[in-house]
């Protein structure tokens, strides 16, 4: 019973980790786009 609960908890952890990684990737893409836009404006 406890082993089954551990597996469930591990699944939740990996799902949350994937969401965090995807969110950080989106932030990184936004940062790159903003930097490129500012560079185009200044250049």
Give the pLDDT confidence of 1-43 residue by residue, as tens digits: 567 666 666 666 677 788 889 999 999 999 999 999 999 999 8
Cα dist from 40 to 9, 35, 37, 43, whole Å: 47, 9, 5, 5
| Sign of the torsion formed by the C-alpha atoms of 23, 24, 29 and 35 | positive
In the structure, how many helices (H) and strands (E) does the chain have?
1, 0
Compute CA 39 distance to the chain's CA centroid, rounded to the nearest angstrom. 25
Cα dist from 34 to 2, 10, 15, whole Å: 48, 36, 29
| pTM summary value | 0.56
Domains in the chain: boundaries: 1-43
């Amino acid at each position: 019973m406890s082993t089954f609960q551990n597996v469930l908890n591990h699944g939740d952890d990996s799902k949350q980790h994937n969401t965090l990684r995807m969110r950080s990737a989106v932030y990184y893409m936004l940062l790159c786009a903003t930097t490129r836009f500012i560079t185009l404006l200044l250049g």
